[in-house]
Amino acid sequence: MRNFGNQVQFTVYQQLEKNLVPVSYEELEARAKEELEAKPFDYVAASAGIEDTARENNLAFRKWKIVPRMLRDTSDRDIGIELFGRKLNVPLLLAPIGVQSIVHPEGEIASARAAASMGVPFIASTASTYSLEKISEATEGAEKWFQLYWSNDHELAASMVKRAESAGYGAIVITLDTPMMGWREKDIHHAYLPFLEAKGIGNYLEDPVFRSRLERSPEEDIRSAIMHWAQIFGNPSLTWRDLEFIRSQTNLPILLKGVLHPDDARLAVESGVDGLIVSNHGGRQVDGSIPAVDALPDVVDIVQGDIPVLMDSGIRRGADIVKALSLGASAVLLGRPYMYGLALAGEAGVRQVLRNLIADFDLTMALSGSRSVDGLGRDLLKKV
Ligand SMILES: Cc1cc2nc3c(=O)[nH]c(=O)nc-3n(C[C@H](O)[C@H](O)[C@H](O)COP(=O)(O)O)c2cc1C
Ligand SMILES: O=C(O)C(=O)c1ccccc1
């Protein structure tokens, strides 16, 4: 897209008058903390254990330094990419985040609409408060992917994938790092789990297989439905061999999210999946695990371009995207920042977060001497 950034930057300055959400990530988080009740805020903001990995995710980005190039004519830029045969305006997607109605009543509908309006694919979570069909209807024609939490009820997992395929989702993201919730001290302290409320499991409640397992419908007996959900949510017994089952259910591209170890990256390629997402779930699972951006280069080296490698966990500013792409990521996923935009101003808030980030990315890329994402490589970085 020609001069996308200049246009975006211009609009950003216009938007500032409205000042819907703070520009800086730190202020965005602080404002969300003021607006939200402690329990939902902590659910979003907090991570596992002493939150070392969450902190390191951000610090690790700062250890990689950009060494900008000069005199390279960056007047005419293109920040678009191609992924699975489709063009994206920006190398950016919205990360799958469950239970979004805990921060805003319009939840995933608002986020997905904001993403669609910016040409950014939305990744709907299995644990969405709105059903995947409702999210799809609200954003007809827009590119979106579905993230699968692979239940220990295989028929339910298959049903989710089939529903996603018929509702027009373009890829399946299987999240591997959360067969159980990590040790999240703030949630335990508050005794708060958002999916112990009806809205928390909205997407499950509309699934025919899920419903067929219940003695009484959720409308009659929501507590039993939630109890059932708690029994079927995760599946820690899965192994690499089980992937064949999902492969047999769909022709959509399949990506694995939560891969950090290079040996797992090799297994993933051998298993025939179509893409990887290097992620530590924003530090919410294994506290002490490697920052995602530090795991990225080794995974990229093992994969050797056979399949695209995406990443998330710690993307806050344009420079983070420049660094991730320079290290070989094809695209990145945005997580918490858009949840804070949603909390503060719904759809318009998410849009402004996106617009700011995209403008920042475009400018940083250009000022580093690159006209397109193809121009970003490891030669642009130095680790200190
Ligand atoms: C509140 C919250 C809920 C999440 N829910 C899901 C989910 O349902 N499925 C999933 O694959 N990842 C989920 N994630 C992880 C994100 O997809 C992503 O990996 C993470 O937010 C990246 O870290 P960052 O937001 O700190 O950049 C969730 C993250 C947060 C903060
Ligand atoms: O909180 C999370 O990180 C997450 O992945 C999740 C899992 C199940 C339901 C809602 C969110």
Q: Which domain holds residue 309?
A: 4-383
Q: Of the ligands numbered here, which is closest to the C-alpha atom of 342?
A: 1
Q: Around Cβ 138, how many Cβ atoms within 10 Å?
A: 18
Q: How far is the CA of 134 from the centre of ligand 2 (A)?
A: 20
Non-local (6+) Cβ contacts of 370 within 8 A are 69, 72, 74, 376, 380
Do 169 and 144 touch, CB atoms closer than 8 A? yes
Residue 98 CB–ligand 2 contact under 6 Å: yes
Residue 335 CB–ligand 2 contact under 6 Å: no
With a CB cutoff of 8 Å and minimum separation 6, the contacts of 203 are: 124, 125, 126, 127, 128, 129, 130, 131, 132
- Per-residue pLDDT of the chain in tens (384 residues, 90 and over written 9): 445 556 666 666 665 557 799 999 999 999 999 999 999 999 999 999 999 999 999 999 999 999 999 999 999 999 999 999 999 999 999 999 999 999 999 999 999 999 999 999 999 999 999 999 999 999 999 999 999 999 999 999 999 999 999 999 999 999 999 999 999 999 999 999 999 888 999 999 999 999 999 999 999 999 999 999 999 999 999 999 999 999 999 999 999 999 999 999 999 999 999 999 999 999 999 999 999 999 999 999 999 999 999 999 999 999 999 999 999 999 999 999 999 999 999 999 999 999 999 999 999 999 999 999 999 999 999 999
User: For the chain, how many structural domains are there in total?
Assistant: 1
DSSP 96: P
Coil, strand or helix at 147: strand
CA 252 to each of CA 21, 232, 244: distance values in angstroms, whole numbers, following the listed order: 36, 24, 13
Q: How far apart are CA 330 and CA 312, in angstroms?
A: 11
| Active-site residue, selected from the candidate residues 189, 190, 261, 281 | 281
96: annotated binding-site residue? yes
Report whether 266 belongs to an annotated binding site: no
Please tell me the number of the ligand nearest to residue 335's CA: 1
Using an 8 Å Cβ cutoff, are 77 and 213 in contact?
Answer: no
Which residue among 201, 281, 332 is best mutated to probe the pocket of ligand 1, counting the most ligand atoms within 8 A of its Cβ?
Answer: 281
Residue 17: the pLDDT is: 56
CB-count burial class (<10 Å; 0-12, 13-18, 19+) for 17: exposed
| Amino acid sitting at position 79 | I
Beta-carbon contacts of residue 153 (< 8 Å; ≥ 6 apart): 209, 213, 232
Burial of 242: CB neighbours in 10 Å, binned 0-12, 13-18, 19+: middle
Asked if residue 254 belongs to a known ligand binding site, the reply is no
Statement: the pTM of the whole predicted model exceeds 0.80: yes
Whether 46 is in the pocket of ligand 2, judged by its Cβ within 6 Å, is no
Residue 38: CA count within 13 A, CB half-sphere: 7
Rounded to the nearest angstrom, the distance between the alpha carbon of 40 and the centre of ligand 2 is: 12
Structure tokens at 320: 């983070």
Contact 343, 45 (CB under 8 A): no
Q: What is the ipTM of this complex?
A: 0.99
Q: Which residue type sits at 333?
A: L
Tell me whether residue 154 is one of the annotated catalytic residues: no
- What is the Å distance from ligand 2's center to 377 Cα? 33
- CATH number, domain with residue 216: 3.20.20.70
